[in-house]
Structure 1
């Protein structure tokens, strides 16, 4: 199923979602209420099930009654049958190691506005949907259950306004086709909340599925916020407005899967990497407006996949859970290809952005970044060629006191035309001991370097100019009697990132006035 089909299906389900939020009287013309047939003061599973078996619409569970789920409730091959309570005051305790409710086959069935509470020995799902179309779980709270919801088959399930607290098992919501032809298509998760002080729960667990939309989720504590897994993993996953705080491991981990769009996600205080792609991830991912703060591992780790774009990230990772000196804001493995990071800011424990391959490999695999702020990192990027060229040419004038360092006494004048900026410098025709160093801040790459001066017949025709670049120092002797007001090329050179490169104009051995006016770096 294409991503376009997913969103078309989501649109088709919109009327279903709206109907689910209507008052009871508006949503259905009639309803039935289970009664305490054995007069023991508790409405048990058998008494609810007897009503579900014959229901055509809503089975209403008033909050004033006391309930006990001592056997699994089943809604099988029904159309439009809903189990509806009055919110958190309709409490459904699960007694023993059983599932609370199982929905299979049929169309448009639902569990709404109830609260499941786990009991001693509960080690199952509270709700399982194992087939059918457009079933829903809405406004349901799960407290101290082992798990909340499992989807194993079906098209268009809707989970909305789901709250999970204090779960004791291994996941909150699991979406994974049971094998063979069974899989989940076009699942929608809206307004999902999970909170736990434990470290075992993976709040959202995605396996074999085509199309999962997560729209607004707040998940705190436990093991992970979201994990995708399996031989193929899920396809077409879209998440928006997701907040994950204090997971013991990763905030989000796609071990496998393909075609992922993640927008407006915030991950804070993860015990491991903030956001990870595993080695079995196929590729096709866009991460926009990703904020990761205080990740104890890498900010983002990409171990596999291709065609992955990260746009405007704001990442801070301490790397405290990793071997010292290995942490990165974004780590990209050699196996990855066509990975780009654009705009934003990234800070890691040691590296800003770390690609584990060589310079040649990063060029061949097209692993690049552009306009990313990395200045607070010990190593901004490795290898240096990850950084693309700057947006514009760099020109340094002699009046730029922050980037021009003078040795000896130079005189600023405007006597002869052809100079750049407000004036130019001359050495007084002293012949030795003076220099002017022009130092840009560069991203790594190749640049053509130019110098400019105001020419005159009294100038030196053997002015020494050094270009300090990644490969060493190249020295040129230029004739400043000629080329008045012209940018004169000194050649194309490779520079490392930072301020290690420079142009040095000297007067040692010069046979006339030496002029220091301006230099220019044009990215190639």
Structure 2
């Protein structure tokens, strides 16, 4: 580990914050190196009206796709008062978070809750749900008394964004059956089959299991309380190397980490420590995972000489690799990934998510705790030196990996396609000329891959379009797809062993009756 490199990023952090970039940063031997760029996205958006936009958190829309679209939500609060929330807004990006659209405020407002208090959804956390193609924005209901002071109980809540139609649910949904369960600021994990594992707080952290049908979310089970999980919650759940990991805020002594083999039943949480057993001195603030196939990283705040006077030492944001065998942080891998802002303000309400196979994002905003704060919203882009195989490879019909042996006809008639359009074979009957289209991924890692296909549907589509799936063991000719159902959804074709040398691909033949559609194929490395 180069000490000079570590000093370099510390100095770099004090450069002009509006566009801070640092060189390639080394980490542990097995983990990928990365570069860090922090950009100012917005400031002073509503300060003149007495409001600030906080808790920025992002999610990739169709991770792995060439479109590189991102959605970031923010929460509206008053500059004065304690967590006085008044709404949700969002911004979008089409370049992995390098630039962002203007802020749009959703028409969500406070309303009467079953506990008799006025409340509103806050602590928004957007997460893409691949099986449905929707973004679920998870949050909690914060309630207030007639004086505007936080009162009453909390509820889980959510809203939904549809990227295909670019529409939001007309209002947020309150899960009233789970009164007092508080998922504030918690990051859920979505399993490959669409099952959601959502951390909540009631006497300690526990994991709610939920399903989502594209419109409604239903909690089906509540797991046991994680032992020693503290009092803060705001947990982030991720999956890495065959294990689930929780990062947990504790309001009293030390933030904590816990591990599990099934994502519901966790071993007792442990305090965050360095590999030598000393305390990281991180307490009473959020921690977030940055998950890469080459390593699991934790983003956090901690006590340091540079942040004396900053509220709860909540800046800068640091990132270190986790030794998953010991659940301790590798001190030599620590780097600043978001420096102290010009306002020297609290940056501790933040988010972290993969944007693509080569980029992860960390998002935060000044909380307006200091007189020099301007409610600046920042996005840090982490550019990886090696592909992140936790993000799938998506090949669309407009990507270089797509090919065909004859012209196919581009169309946008039926919604639900990925990217700019889809193509059809242009004939309603069976194609006797053996016309085909193929999707070939650029693989960097051998392994077992779940392969999915999507298409748009209509009654004039084939009900058994034949596929040819080239894998390590040969060519599977047994799979067909019914393009009259599952519009715009990823349909699992199977799991196959693939290596770069075998030149794997998926081919669809236009030999069944109907307009055969070629849209997109996804290759997802199985853990």
Q: TM-score, normalised by structure 2?
A: 0.27
Greater relative CO, 1 or 2 (CA 8 Å, sep 6+)? 2
Task: Answer with 1 or 2: which has the greater Rg.
Answer: 1
Q: TM-score, normalised by structure 1?
A: 0.27
